[in-house]
Each structure stands twice: as C-alpha cells, then as structure tokens.
Amino acid sequence: MDFTSVVYSDSFSKVEDCPPAGKPEFAFIGRSNVGKSSLINALCERKALAFTSSQPGKTQSINFYTINDAWLLVDLPGYGYAKVSKTMRSSWKVMVEGYLENRESLFCVFQLIDHAIPPQQADIDFSNWLGEREIPFVLVFTKADKRSKDKKTNTVKAYLEKLAGYWEVMPPYFVASAVKGTGLPEIRSYIRQVLPQ
C-alpha cells in the first residue's frame, strides 16, 4: 500500500479533547518500549514521524497520523512501565482505556508483543481485556531481528498457546521488525484488505 500522504494531525492527553470520530483508526498499543512508535514510522517509511526512545514511557498522549486523507494510525502510550507513579498509571488507564472503549471510529487495534522475550502476563491480560470488550485486534510480534533471550522459547507459539487457554478464536498475527522491514508489507496489505471501501 502506498502511504502517499502521511500527516501528523495532533496529540491529545484527554479522550474528550480528541476530534470528533471520523475516518477509520488503527491504534497501536503494547508494553512501553515494545516498538509502537518505531513500527508506525517504519510502516510510513518516515524516520521521525512518531517520537521513539530507548527509554520506556516516551509516548505520553494519543497521537493521530492521517494516511492518504482516508484513515488514521494512532500511537498510544504503553502499559507496564514499572517506574510510573500510581497517579500516572491511573491517568494512563483513563486516557488509553477510555480511548479504546469509547472511540467510535476505532477500527482495529494492533497489540504489539516483544518477540525476544517469553510471554508476559501483562500482555495476556491486555489481549483478554480487548477480547472481553469485543474490540477487534491483531497481534504484532516486534523486534523480530533480535535474538530471543531464551532461545528455547518460540514466543509466538507460546503466546498463542496461552491465549488458547482463554479463547477459541485466535486473532490474526504478524511478525515484524521496524529495523529490518520484516512483516511490513504483510501489515500494509492487511490494512488495505480490511479498510472499508
């Protein structure tokens, strides 16, 4: 898919301040540092559209990027960052869960999972949270270029096995690397297929 025009639209720290729902939105969520902003940049073939950092907790608000004037990518702050105060955690909940539960134009969530580490309970809990609310989502296993810390564990298989303990139908999934470009054509093609014509 051509990302002919990519326009940073705006950032909001409160759901109620977001512009009225309109074009379909694809939102990126996952643990802090999993590579959400990097994947958005890689998909758009832009280096610094969404700000990234080696330190977790970089993205702090809801960021909208309009693609081809037809649909949006939405970068969200991550969950599971330990060095966060209770107040910040609860404002994250209000902002991110509020967006995901209430946004009428939310079309699909990309939940990113770090491919290089074994399945994390925080991710399973978040997949379950999405599933329980019937929010359509797909999984993206990120950092496919990195060697797994535990060479014996196939994270994709292990993660899907864990999810199968809760659900009969598995979400679609992709394995991607923002660095090497792995999986990007597949993700773009998925977006093209599911976008309303």
Ligand X SMILES: Nc1nc2c(ncn2[C@@H]2O[C@H](COP(=O)(O)OP(=O)(O)OP(=O)(O)O)[C@@H](O)[C@H]2O)c(=O)[nH]1
Which residues are at the interface with ligand X (CB under 6 A)?
30, 32-38, 52-54, 56-59, 77-78, 142-143, 145-146, 177-179
**Contact of residue 111 among ligand X, Mg ion, none (CB under 5-8 Å per partner type):** none
CB nearer to ligand X: pick between 145 and 171 = 145
DSSP 16: G
**Contact of residue 115 among ligand X, Mg ion, none (CB under 5-8 Å per partner type):** none
Phi-psi region of 177 (alpha: psi -120 to 50; beta: other; left: phi over 0): beta
**Contact of residue 109 among ligand X, Mg ion, none (CB under 5-8 Å per partner type):** none
**CA distances in angstroms from 134 to 12, 21, 176, listed in the order given:** 25, 19, 25
**CA distances in angstroms from 25 to 49, 103, 107, 120, 197, listed in the order given:** 17, 9, 5, 26, 14
Residues in contact with Mg ion, counted by CB under 5 A, come to a total of 4
What's the order of all strands across the beta sheet hosting 62-67? 6-12, 62-67, 71-75, 25-30, 106-114, 137-142, 173-175
43 phi/psi in degrees, rounded to 5: -65, -35
38 contributes a contact to Mg ion by CB under 5 A: no
Shortest Cβ 47–ligand X spacing (Å):
11
Shortest Cβ 125–ligand X spacing (Å):
17
CB nearer to ligand X: pick between 78 and 119 = 78
Contact 183, 176 (CB under 8 A): yes
**Contact of residue 155 among ligand X, Mg ion, none (CB under 5-8 Å per partner type):** none
32 contributes a contact to Mg ion by CB under 5 A: no
Shortest Cβ 74–Mg ion spacing (Å):
11
Q: How far apart are CA 69 and CA 53, in angstroms?
A: 28
CB nearer to ligand X: pick between 48 and 169 = 48
CB nearer to Mg ion: pick between 59 and 177 = 59
Residues of the shown chain interacting with Mg ion in the complex, contacts defined by CB under 5 A = 36-37, 58-59
